[in-house]
Amino acid sequence: MAKVLVTGGSGYIGSHTLVSLIKAGYQVVSIDNFMNSKPEALEAVQRITGQKAINYNIDLCDTEKVGKVFEDHQDIDAIIHFAALKAVGESVEKPILYFKNNLNSLLNVMDEVHKYGINNVIFSSSCTVYGEASDLPVTEETEMKEAESPYGRTKQIGEYVLKDLSGIWGTNVVSLRYFNPGGAHPSGLMGEAPRVKALNLVPVITETAAGKREKCIVFGDDYDTRDGSCVRDYIHIMDLADAHTKAVQYLLERKNTDHYEVFNLGIGQGVTVLEAIKAFEKVSGQSLNYEIGARRPGDVISIYSDYDKAKRLLEWTPQYTIEDIMRSAWKWEQDRPY
Ligand code: UD1
């Protein structure tokens, strides 16, 4: 049974991926200091899978403590590195925090990867690395424009660091560029539960409908898009988790042709903010209290993926739609255990 170390195992994508890995028969170990997540997420993993994930409550920027985890688990076969700060706006206010946290943690992990000869690494990247792409949909070949935020820059730098290290050491690395993750585990037992106020569209919609917010503001309806609001590619968290398990399998089976490879993970469909709201209204049967507001600084206008590479090489096909995302997110919001 291969052993996978997951950093950020208690986070939104991390916890769903732990479930997917355990179900596929992997042994898992998590590192998470609950900086922006809750320990209850790990309890949910156990409730869903019947297995407890060992977690180390340590800061990945603490070199010594990170070293101790790898010393304890010298049989790690693959690592998925999720742990990072991810709020675009906050990263503009606190760029040093973002650069220190996201980059030092990555370097500490990679130092240990080299020390213990671990051959397989998966990195949480983002469609944010493309910036404002001129041609849509974006493929992995689409050039990276300047990052729109320090958060985006940490993902670009992270990718370059990994590309260089994989070239020098021969370590196999896959960077997964997520588009906009949303939704929750269909059981309603696990979902998005950040400690900080949610800023992403899907939780803003469900929290508004649940009465936790007064209204949802649509950030601009005067863009050059079909209804004036921004276009994104929303991907269900279950599809995203599944892609990570497939990426681990891909590396362990040595299917990669280059030491460093990149994959887009989206569903290949652009959805506007107003369409996302309509999808929510349709599946929930209630109308959302929203109004049109000003544009949000730093927003790209339109982005969606071409995920053909992941389909061909990882043998991954997304199963869920924007309506499934809204349905599961709404179920989660209405009866949240944590
Ligand atoms: C961005 C990044 C993504 C990153 C994520 C982390 C890009 C293209 N995407 O996602 O890679 O992982 O941040 O948080 O850089 N919106 C509203 N009202 C709201 C909230 C959002 O209208 O209250 C709109 C936004 O203007 C945007 C869409 O909804 O058009 C999605 O926004 P959000 O969920 O915040 O994600 P991104 O900013 O696209």
State in Å: Cα 195 to ligand 1 middle.
Answer: 18
What's 3-182+235-266's CATH class? alpha beta
Active-site annotation, residues: 151
In this prediction, residue 88 carries a pLDDT of: 86
State in Å: Cα 79 to ligand 1 middle.
Answer: 27
Ligand 1 lining (C-beta closer than 6 Å): 86-88, 126-128, 180, 199-201, 204, 216-219, 230, 232, 273, 296, 299-300, 303
State in Å: Cα 187 to ligand 1 middle.
Answer: 26
Picking from 122, 84, 119, 135, the residue whose alpha carbon sits closest to that of residue 105 is 84
In this prediction, residue 236 carries a pLDDT of: 98
In this prediction, residue 316 carries a pLDDT of: 98
Q: Which atom of ligand 1 is nearest to the CA of 126?
A: 11
pLDDT, block means (10 residues), the chain with 338 residues: 97 98 98 96 98 97 98 98 93 96 98 98 97 93 92 97 98 98 97 92 98 97 98 98 98 98 98 98 98 91 97 98 98 95
Indicate yes or no: pTM above 0.95.
yes
Ligand 1 pocket, mutate which of 154, 196, 219, 274 (most atoms under 8 A from CB): 219
In this prediction, residue 231 carries a pLDDT of: 97
Q: Give the residue whose CA is nearest to atom 25 of ligand 1.
A: 219
In this prediction, residue 196 carries a pLDDT of: 87
